[in-house]
Structure formats: structure tokens, C-alpha cells
Chain A
Amino acid sequence: MFKQLLLIAFLIPSISAVASPEKDYDEFVSYFENRFPDTPFEDYKNGVYSIDKSAREQWEAMEEFPPYELNVDRGEELFNRPFKNGNTYGSCFENDGIGIRQNYPYFDTEKNKVVTLEGALNDCRVKNGEKPLSYFKGKELAHVSAYMAYTSRGNKFNVQIPNTKEALDAYEDGRRLYFTKKGQLNFSCADCHVYQTGTKLRADIPSPAIGHPTHFPVYRSGMGRLVTLHERFAGCLNRIRAKSFKGGSDELNNLEFFTTFMSNGLEVNGPGSRK
């Protein structure tokens, strides 16, 4: 019954015409509280392991010798390596880029667009005469992002949505993408990560929607490399045989804006490890 109500509340977004991110957030958090009463809120940063006790033990054992350690070291090296003009990534960021992961994404009210950490890293490169990098395949961008997340562990996400039409539209756009059924298989993100969370799809259990961005980029042992959040989004879109979007596109930026707002109050714990 509760599920049905939530469904209706989310699927008819225009009841009040104006997006209400705070109301959505409260509804989201209380939905998961009801659904998984044994999971403390702080634990949602652990993704599927916050609700799957049996897989959790194995994962905790893996985390004792983190498979992403070398990636974090490599990320630090790349982060500190000067561009051709002598500047480094740190020069583009507050606090030289240390401990700031939780402030991303944010809405830039001058450019009127969502800026993600990876997007800001690419902007930084372009400003310094370097080419922007790909979000895919676990290359330099994923490594630098993993290092920056690592320096921010324990800080809490605090994404703000400025009270402007453009910012609310970007949020709404991300939310719509999350709740709209699409692709040949006709799934929405919410079908798996809200309504069917915790059920089994073959051997996979889809994780709760809150807490998704906290531990990205993720080291996937099956792939033997880092995966950025946008590559993961694209992976799920491919799986449902839906049209995907480019890393750093407005669509995926807005999707990240929505899902990270839904994860406010949770700690940064990237990079994470997954199978």
C-alpha cells in the first residue's frame, strides 16, 4: 500500500507543478526506513551491502586488503603531476582539491548547469590547455576522482539546490529520468533501485537508490578496474536496452544531481569495491 502511494506520488510529479526536492528527500528516506527497518541510515553509503547480510561478510573481508589501493596511489600521482603549463589539478579547486568530494555535484548559477567533480576536473584541464578526458574505461579521470574521494572520506554529502527555475529544472530532469520506464525492457531506475530493491534478479540484488554516489568511483573486481558513476549509469541503461548518454552529458549530470541530493547526509566513502 505504501509502495503504491509512493509510486503515485512520484509518477505524478506535476501535482504541485513546482519541484520540491526536500519533500522528495523525506519521502525517499522514510520509504527505505520502512522497507529496511534493520538498516541504519548511515549504512546506505555501503550500497547493496547495507541490505544484503550474506554478501556483506565477503565484501568486508575483501575490504581488508582494498583492491583499489594502487588506484588511489596512481590517482594521487596524476593529481599532483603538473600540466604542460606547470599548474596542477589542485589549482582549480578550493582547498587545493583535498577533502571536497562531498560538495559535488553543485549547480552553477552562472553557466546554469550541474557541475560534477569529473566535469570540474575536465574544465580544469581545458582551462590549462589540456584535452578533456573520457569518463569511461577507468583511466586518468577515474583515478584522480578516486584519489579526491579518498581524501574526503567521512565528510558528509551536502548538495544544495539553488532556488532558481534552472536549478529546479535540472533536478526535475534527473528525477524524471530516474522514474521513467524506458528501453526495450521497459524498466525505470526506480523499478530496480526503489520498488524491487532487495529482491533477486537471478543472483543480483539491486541496491537502494540512496547512497549510490557516495562510494564512486568503484573498483569492480569483475572488470579489474575503476568505474565512474557515469559509466555505471550507462551500464544500467545498456542493460535495460535503453539509449545511453555520454559521460558528462546534461542528462547524466542531472541524474547525478538528483541521486546525490537523495544521498545528502551520508558520508563519502569512495572509492568502493564491488564484484
Chain B
Amino acid sequence: MKSLIKSLLFVIILMPIASFPDTIAEGKKLTFDRKKGNCLACHMIEDGELAGNNGPPLLAMKARFPDREILFQQIWDPTEKDPYSFMPPFGKHGALTRNEINKIIDYLYTL
């Protein structure tokens, strides 16, 4: 019973988020958040302060990554392409969910 209430609560809490229109703003937040993507640690990004410089700047993303799947894979698990990659395998290691990565990509496509 308790767990039923819990899962109902869960659904209710998640519902408004899932249908929230502004995934781009959320994606930006996930991209910048130190506990989430923290992409700024390594990449220069428009409006980002104190950006790191050991990854390439994230710009002109639509032009450079017309195939969304390739961009997804880079964030999900860059070690697939290069086992020594310095970039963390965010999806594979559970640091970001599929859903979170998709929001990040929606944001990256505005850059």
C-alpha cells in the first residue's frame, strides 16, 4: 500500500516535468550544473563562465552534428570511439539518464 502511494506520488511529481515545454532551458541547466553534466569543466560554451579547455568548444552544433544519434553516442559513451577519451561516459556510467542527455542535446542544438 505504502509503495503504491509512493509510486502514485512519483507519477504525479514526474508528470508536470515530462510535459514541461521548455526542455531547452532544462537542458542548459543540466549542461552547466556541476553535479550533472558539468560540461563547462572541459568545454567552452556560450554564456558559460570559467570554462575549461581540454575539450573542443561546443558551438555550431547543428552544422557539425547533423546526425543526432552521433551526438547522443558521444555523450552516452565517448570511450566507444576512443577508449582513452578524457570525457566521462555519462550515460553508460549512469551519471545522466537518457532523458537528461536528450534535453542536453536539445540545448546544444541551439548553439
Contacts and interface: CB of A to CB of B under 8 A. Distances in A.
B98 to A, nearest CB: 16
A169 to B, nearest CB: 26
Interface residues of A, number: 14
B86 A7 contact: no
B42 A201 contact: yes
A245 interface: no
Nearest to B89: A186
B52 A200 contact: yes
Contacts of B42: 201
Contact of A185 (B54, B84, B95): B95
B50 interface: yes
Interface string B83-96: 01010110001110
A191 interface: yes
A195 B93 contact: no
Given A185-B93, A185-B95, A186-B93, A200 B53 contact: yes
A184 B95 contact: yes
Nearest to B42: A201
B40 interface: yes
Interface string A200-237: 11110000000000000000000000000000000000
B59 interface: no
Given A201-B42, A201-B52, A202-B41, A196 B95 contact: no
B54 A200 contact: yes
B93 A201 contact: no
Interface string B78-111: 0100001010110001110000000000000000
Interface string A6-47: 010000000000000000000000000000000000000000
Contacts of A191: 86
Interface of A: 7, 184-187, 191, 195-196, 199-203, 241
23 contacts: A7-B84, A184-B88, A184-B93, A184-B94, A185-B93, A186-B79, A186-B88, A186-B89, A186-B93, A187-B86, A196-B54, A200-B51, A200-B53, A201-B41, A201-B42, A201-B54, A202-B38, A202-B40, A202-B41, A202-B50, A202-B51, A202-B52, A203-B50
Given A201-B54, A202-B52, 4 more contacts: A185-B93, A191-B86, A195-B86, A202-B38
